[in-house]
Amino acid sequence: MAVNARDIRRRIKSVKNTQQITKAMKMVAAAKLRRAQERVEQARPYAAKLEEVIGSIASAAGSSNHPMLVKRPVKKTGYVIISSDRGLAGGYNSQIIRALVNEVRGKDKNSYAIFAIGRKARDFFKRRNYPLVGEVTGLSDSPTYADVKDLSSQVVKFFQEGVYDEVFLLYNEFISPLTQIPKSRKLLPLEDIGANVKKPAPGQFTAKYDYEPSEEAVLDNLLPKFAETLIFSALLEGKASEFGAKMTAMGAATDNAGEMINKYTLELNRARQAAITTQITEIVGGAAALE
């Protein structure tokens, strides 16, 4: 019994050490989540306003025929997936990777290509010989626009050159620290960009704008930037979702460690009680033998 008690004490000590680590990781993730959530909230109005401006230009006469706005026959599709570089984030990476796997299941590998942001997605698709053509890894906890500028520009350029006829963006949309939803959004072409533009009410005054040198020239400059902005905004959403998932996962791990400690403590008390009972029995037995 003494050996068993020592073994249980060793397990309790080990679980307590793990519990301290997971608790610290939860607190760190919570602090990073607050900063990431602020960046998401700051980026959303910018992207929405840019979409509104471009949509108003695109809705003008003749501007809706821009190549980046027009749907064309699909021969090859590009997918941009956003994951994390590290694990310990619950189902954050697995659910978005699974979404893309389901998306391309049954497709010819020559009919699509994958751009991976994050080491987890890169390693998964690389090991399984998926057509991985671009990657960005080693991002900081507070990524900047410059971190994904090259990949974003490459994606837009390939679409403009006809290498891909459509591009989808897959990421985890941040809803709350407890909820992150895998989302697949068509990035290119931007065929519905003018759908959310509010139309003036009958009789309402509307301003008219002159574009220099032309509406098409303005779109040529803004549309690629808008597509790149969507990728960066999705990256910010992904980072906030990652920290939310980590905070939830480490919180659950901390609670599970507490339950294990209680279980082992109960086993230790039972072992000690059994050892004491055995000792008492031996003493009583020895005393009876001396009579």
Assess whether pLDDT exceeds 80 at residue 191: no
Peptide bond connecting 202 to the previous residue in cis, omega within 30 degrees of 0: no
Range name among 101-110, 140-149, 210-219 with the lowest pLDDT average: 210-219
Report the predicted TM-score, pTM, of the whole model to 2 decimal places.
0.84
Q: What is the pLDDT of residues 224-253, one digit of tens each?
A: 888 899 999 999 999 999 999 999 999 999
Residue at 235: amino acid letter: L
Other Cβ atoms within 10 Å of 90 Cβ, number: 19
Residue 277, classified by CB atoms within 10 Å of its CB into exposed (0-12), middle (13-18) or buried (19+), is exposed
Number of H helices and number of E strands within the chain? 5, 5
- Identify which of 264, 240, 259 has the alpha carbon closest to the alpha carbon of residue 43: 240
- For 143-159, the pLDDT digits (tens) are 999 999 999 999 999 99
Alpha helices by DSSP H, 137-193 = 145-160
For 38-97, what is each residue's pLDDT tens digit?
999 888 888 888 887 787 777 664 556 777 888 889 999 999 999 999 988 888 999 999
In the chain, the domains with their CATH numbers are: 2-20+250-290 (1.10.287.80), 26-193+208-248 (3.40.1380.10)
